[in-house]
């Protein structure tokens, strides 16, 4: 039985042609039948009308005379028409009625038509004729049958003609092309297609022949290339084999079955065997591989084709344990899976790592020692500065001091502040090197910060006869996010240097936006800096010739400023020419923000007293240094506090139990019992939260402050103790209101005995 492929081109074309011929024929035949039926119906109606009119005219005279015989003769003549099946003639008022009916002629549906009989324009009766359409329909069907037969014959002839043409002009050539393409697909590129046609099939055949020629040439080139690559691969394998055999690293190759294929001399020495003996090994049977986990790694590498790495301890042929790194690399040799195993001696690395660990331990110990040293130095240096600067400020309150004494006191203050700045710079650069500086971004008002800087520098510039200008881009945001404290330190350092080293001309601060950042430019008309000095300018402790000539500073300011800039994600650079001044550029990412900036506490002047009586405000001052105790006592006593003192933490606890002070000024580093322990014990006593504890510390490190607060202190005040921070903290904790020097008349100078400087 012939099997028909419904997806073949021949079947699709056959059905398409059949549908293309059949559908129009069916539609045309249907329309012809419909038209034939309508025409036959029209002929029947025309015949009926004609016969009725003729009969009405013929019987008019006879019906008037009531001549039934004549009427019947006329009716019989009319009934000779084979389509008529009934004729009825009636006179007016039915005086005469003749009906002639032939039932044998009725073959289909009948149609009836009446017509009046007229004489002298007066109706004398009526004629009714019934005609049958059966004969007409039979005749119409006969015509339709003939037409359909002719149409089918035409369709069959057209179909046969089209199929023969399609087979010999399209399907047969396409089958040849398919067979040719299948030969190409199966790799037979020697068969040619000798065929010359100018139509689409011919062009397709030409393209297939061109493709065959291209593939044939490509195969020849590929065969030559494969032969060349095969030879190169063989040479490479020989080369790799040579490298493996002569490698100083122990290397061995195993087949997927576990059998050793190749091993070099280094591996043979490692395991204490000869190269020939290695070929008898199977890594699946080596006990050391199973115990160390190398067997599982090797099998896993063969399964997933991913390398493995493991560090194992190998006992050599000399009985020495060697720590090695084993690398298991899956590879293909001769189209089969193999394992290349390489061993690396880690003894030297372990020694190096141990040395590195020892160095790290020593470095950590040195860092800890450095931190302890810096903490101790901070305490030892800032503690005497507390007494020097503190008593100098107390002396400033003496309105009876002579001008010469005030000049000397100003020298003490100036020198003390300079020494404190040097100490702070040295400690800060040490904190930066130890990575202990943190940037604390917050919202601040850029305009207020610049105004504050301008007011500060303007006074310094006027003292030297210099002009100072501030140029700010009006498009800059007002509220920005950043570390305002560090930014202020950098700008004060840059502007201070510009004023310090400029003897004539001007200093300018320009602020503008650049590439999503805010740029600050400090320009001066000073002596300038040489190229050699510019290279070293940002190094710690380096000073230019101008700086050495001035005899001020430590050379740390610019180094600290650049580190601050980097910590804040910015850059600090400079340009300068000798004799033409310098330009320092600082760029920082300071994004705008809608968060309101914290308002700065407005300085109201020197505190001279309390608004309310202070009889109940007892303060306990705890410090092991008599000078520091005396300083704080006199400072608080002048304002009106009742002050009590203690020398160490144990005495502080006793004084607290007996005196119940409202606030304790606690030094944190003391003998017998330090401030940490004393604070913790006081907090453990009943009612511990009623007393406020302010830590007075000479430590400059912020991380030490966190430990102080964790011990139970409410606030931290750094030494040297300054009046404003101390009174501000006390006012916040106790809810105090002060009287300031600009709100009241100057207080009378205290007696000389009240300010004892003998200890200083």
Segment 370-397 mean pLDDT? 64
pLDDT at site 749:
40
Mean pLDDT, all residues of the chain: 77
Contact by Cβ (8 Å): 283, 272: no
Helix (H) or strand (E) segment spanning residue 506: strand 506-514
- Mean pLDDT to the nearest integer, 464-481: 90
Q: Give the pLDDT band of residue 743 (cuts 50, 70, 90).
A: very low
Beta-sheet strand order (sheet of 642-646): 642-646, 618-622, 663-667, 692-697, 715-718
Over residues 385-404, the mean pLDDT reads 66
Highest mean pLDDT among 164-173, 578-587, 595-604, 615-624 belongs to 578-587
Q: What is the mean pLDDT of residues 508-525?
A: 92
Asked if pLDDT for residue 234 goes beyond 90, the answer is no
Tell which wins on pLDDT, 229 or 526.
Answer: 526
**Separation in Å, CA 533 to CA 499, 545, 581:** 19, 9, 14
717 beta partners: 696
The rounded distance, in Å, linking the Cα atoms of 19 and 13 is 10
Please, are residues 197 and 205 in contact by the beta-carbon 8 Å criterion? yes
Confidence of residue 508 (pLDDT cuts 50, 70, 90): very high
Average pLDDT over residues 295-313: 85
Question: Which pLDDT value is given to residue 587?
Answer: 93
**pLDDT value of position 759:** 43
Taking residues 48-67, report their average pLDDT.
Answer: 79
Residue 520 has pLDDT above 90, yes or no: yes
- Are 669 and 661 spatial neighbours (Cβ–Cβ below 8 Å)? no
Over residues 98-120, mean pLDDT? 74
* Closest to 500 measured CA to CA, from 548, 561, 538: 548
What is residue 751's predicted lDDT score, i.e. its pLDDT? Answer: 39
Q: Tell me: the pLDDT tens digits for 316-355?
A: 655 566 778 888 888 887 778 888 888 887 776 667 677 7
Asked if residues 755 and 394 have their Cβ atoms less than 8 Å apart, the reply is: yes
How high is the pLDDT of residue 744?
Answer: 42
User: pLDDT for 563-593, tens place per residue?
Assistant: 888 988 999 998 988 888 899 999 999 998 8
For 316-466, strand residue ranges (E) read 321-333, 336-345, 442-445
- DSSP-assigned letter for residue 106: -
pLDDT band at 753 (very low <50, low <70, confident <90, very high): very low
Q: What torsion do the CA atoms of 733, 739, 743, 749 make, to the nearest 10 degrees?
A: -140
**What is the number of residues in the chain?**
760
> Among 329-338, 649-658, 672-681, which stretch is predicted with the lowest mean pLDDT?
329-338
* Residue that wins the pLDDT comparison between 630 and 277: 630
pTM above 0.85, yes or no: no
Beta strands in 150-206 (DSSP E): none
What is the pLDDT confidence band of residue 750, given thresholds at 50, 70 and 90? very low
Which residue(s) pair with 620 in the sheet?
644, 664
Give the C-alpha separation, 2 to 256, whole Å: 54
Q: What is the pLDDT of residue 702?
A: 65
Residues 6 or more apart whose CB falls under 8 angstroms from that of 741 comprise 605, 606, 607, 608
Task: State mean pLDDT over 466-479.
Answer: 90
For residue 750, give both structure tokens: 């205290």
pLDDT of the residue at 752? 37
Of the candidates 122, 115, 124, the residue with the CA atom closest to the CA atom of residue 96: 124
* Res 9: pLDDT: 58
632 close to 623: Cβ distance less than 8 angstroms:
yes
119: which residues sit within 8 A by CB, 6+ positions away?
A: 60, 61, 64
Percent of the chain having pLDDT more than 90? 11
Q: What is the mean pLDDT of residues 208-213?
A: 78
The alpha helices in 192-340, defined as continuous H runs, are 200-246, 265-271, 275-278, 287-292, 294-304
pLDDT of amino acid 755: 41
pLDDT at 368: 63
pLDDT, tens digit (0-9, with 9 covering 90-100), for 548-568: 665 566 667 788 888 888 988
Mean pLDDT value across residues 6-18: 63
What are 151-192's pLDDT values in tens digits?
A: 778 777 777 777 777 776 677 777 777 777 777 777 777 777
Contact assessment for residue 576 and residue 582, using Cβ atoms and an 8 Å cutoff: yes
The pLDDT value given to residue 746: 41
pLDDT at 507 over 70: yes
Out of 302-311, 319-328, 362-371, 468-477, the most confident range is 468-477
Task: Report percent pLDDT > 70 for the chain.
Answer: 74
Residue 524: the pLDDT is 93
Lowest pLDDT segment from 69-73, 476-480, 488-492, 729-733:
69-73
- Give the confidence band of 663 by pLDDT, cuts at 50, 70, 90: very high
Map residue 471 onto helix, strand or coil: strand
Counting other chains too, the contacts that 578-583 makes at CB distance below 8 Å and 24 or more residues apart are 578/527, 578/528, 578/529, 578/530, 579/527, 579/528, 580/528, 581/502, 581/505, 581/523, 581/524, 581/525, 581/526, 581/528, 582/498, 582/523, 582/524, 582/526, 582/528, 582/529, 583/521, 583/522, 583/523
Instruction: Quote the pLDDT of residue 375.
Output: 61
At 510 the pLDDT is 93
β-bridge mates for residue 111, sequence order: 131
Mean pLDDT of 506-528: 91
The predicted pLDDT at position 467 comes to 92
Residue 423 has a pLDDT of: 66
- Give 85's contacts (C-beta < 8 A, 6+ positions apart): 101, 102, 103, 105, 106, 110, 130, 131, 132
The per-residue pLDDT for 136 is 67
The candidate with the shortest Cα–Cα distance to 659, out of 671, 669, 645, is 645
Position 546 scores a pLDDT of 66
């Amino acid at each position: 039985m012939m099997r028909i492929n419904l997806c073949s081109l021949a079947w699709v074309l056959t059905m398409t042609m059949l549908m293309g011929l059949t559908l129009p024929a069916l539609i045309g035949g249907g329309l012809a039948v419909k038209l034939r039926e309508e025409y036959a119906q029209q002929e029947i109606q025309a015949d009926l009308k004609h016969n009725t009119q003729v009969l009405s005219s013929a019987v008019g005279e006879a019906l008037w005379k009531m001549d039934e015989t004549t009427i019947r003769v006329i009716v019989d003549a009319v009934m000779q028409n084979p389509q008529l099946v009934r004729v009825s003639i009636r006179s007016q008022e039915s005086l005469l009625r003749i009906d002639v009916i032939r039932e044998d002629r009725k073959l289909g549906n009948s149609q009836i038509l009446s017509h009046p009989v007229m004489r002298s324009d007066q109706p004398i009766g009526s004629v009714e004729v019934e005609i049958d359409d059966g004969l007409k329909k039979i005749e119409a069907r006969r015509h339709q049958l003939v037409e359909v037969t002719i149409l089918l014959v035409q369709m069959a002839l057209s179909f046969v003609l089209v199929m023969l043409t399609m087979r010999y002009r399209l399907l047969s050539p396409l089958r040849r092309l398919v067979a040719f393409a299948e030969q190409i697909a199966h790799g037979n590129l020697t068969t040619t297609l000798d065929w010359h046609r100018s139509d689409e099939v011919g062009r397709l055949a030409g393209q297939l022949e061109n493709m065959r020629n291209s593939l044939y040439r490509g195969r020849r080139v590929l065969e030559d290339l494969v032969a060349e690559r095969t030879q190169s691969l063989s040479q490479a394998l020989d080369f790799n084999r040579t490298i493996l055999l002569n490698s100083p690293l122990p290397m061995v190759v195993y087949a997927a079955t576990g059998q050793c294929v190749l091993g070099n001399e280094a591996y043979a020495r490692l395991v204490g065997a000869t190269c020939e003996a290695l070929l008898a090994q199977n890594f699946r049977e080596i006990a050391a591989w199973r115990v160390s986990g190398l067997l599982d790694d090797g099998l896993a590498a063969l399964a997933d084709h991913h390398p493995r790495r493991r560090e194992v301890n190998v006992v050599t042929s000399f009985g020495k344990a060697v720590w090695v790194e084993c690398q298991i690399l899956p590879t293909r040799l001769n189209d089969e899976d193999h394992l290349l195993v390489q061993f690396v001696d880690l003894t030297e690395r372990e020694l190096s790592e141990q040395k590195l660990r020892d160095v790290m331990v020593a470095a950590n110990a040195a860092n800890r020692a450095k931190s302890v040293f810096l903490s101790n130095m901070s305490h030892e240096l800032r503690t005497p500065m507390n007494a020097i600067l503190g008593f100098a400020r107390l002396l400033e309150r003496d309105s009876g001091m002579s001008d010469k004494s005030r000049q000397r006191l100003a020298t003490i203050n100036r020198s003390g502040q300079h020494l404190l700045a040097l100490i702070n710079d040295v400690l800060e650069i040490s904190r930066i090197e130890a990575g202990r500086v943190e940037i604390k971004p917050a919202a601040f008002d850029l305009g207020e910060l610049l105004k504050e800087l301008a007011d500060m520098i303007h006074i310094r510039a006027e003292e030297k006869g210099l002009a100072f200008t501030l140029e700010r881009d009006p498009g800059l945001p007002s509220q920005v996010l950043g570390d305002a404290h560090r930014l202020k330190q950098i700008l004060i350092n840059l502007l201070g240097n510009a004023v310090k080293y400029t003897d004539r001309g001007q200093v300018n601060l320009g602020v503008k936006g650049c590439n999503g950042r805010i740029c600050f430019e400090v320009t001066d008309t000073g002596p300038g800096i040489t190229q050699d000095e510019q290279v070293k300018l940002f190094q710690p402790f380096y000073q230019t010739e101008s700086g050495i000539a001035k005899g001020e500073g430590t050379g740390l300011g610019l180094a600290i400023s650049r580190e601050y800039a980097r910590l804040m994600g910015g850059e600090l650079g400079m340009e300068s020419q000798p004799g033409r001044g310098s330009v320092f550029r600082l760029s920082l990412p300071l994004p705008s923000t809608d968060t309101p900036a914290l308002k700065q506490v407005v300085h109201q002047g020197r505190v001279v007293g309390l608004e309310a009586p202070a009889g109940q405000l007892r303060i306990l001052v705890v410090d092991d240094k008599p000078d520091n105790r005396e300083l704080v006592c006199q400072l608080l006593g002048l304002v009106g506090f009742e002050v009590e003192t203690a020398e160490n933490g144990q005495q502080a606890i006793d004084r607290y139990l007996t005196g119940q002070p409202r606030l304790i000024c606690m030094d944190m580093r003391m003998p017998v019992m330090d401030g940490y322990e004393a604070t913790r014990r006081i907090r453990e006593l009943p009612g511990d939260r009623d007393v406020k504890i302010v830590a007075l510390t000479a430590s400059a490190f912020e991380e030490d402050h966190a430990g102080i607060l964790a011990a139970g202190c409410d606030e931290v005040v750094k030494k040297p103790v300054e009046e404003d921070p101390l009174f501000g903290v006390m006012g916040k904790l106790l809810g105090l209101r002060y009287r300031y020097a600009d709100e009241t008349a100057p207080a009378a100078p205290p007696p000389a005995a009240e300010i004892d400087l003998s200890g200083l």
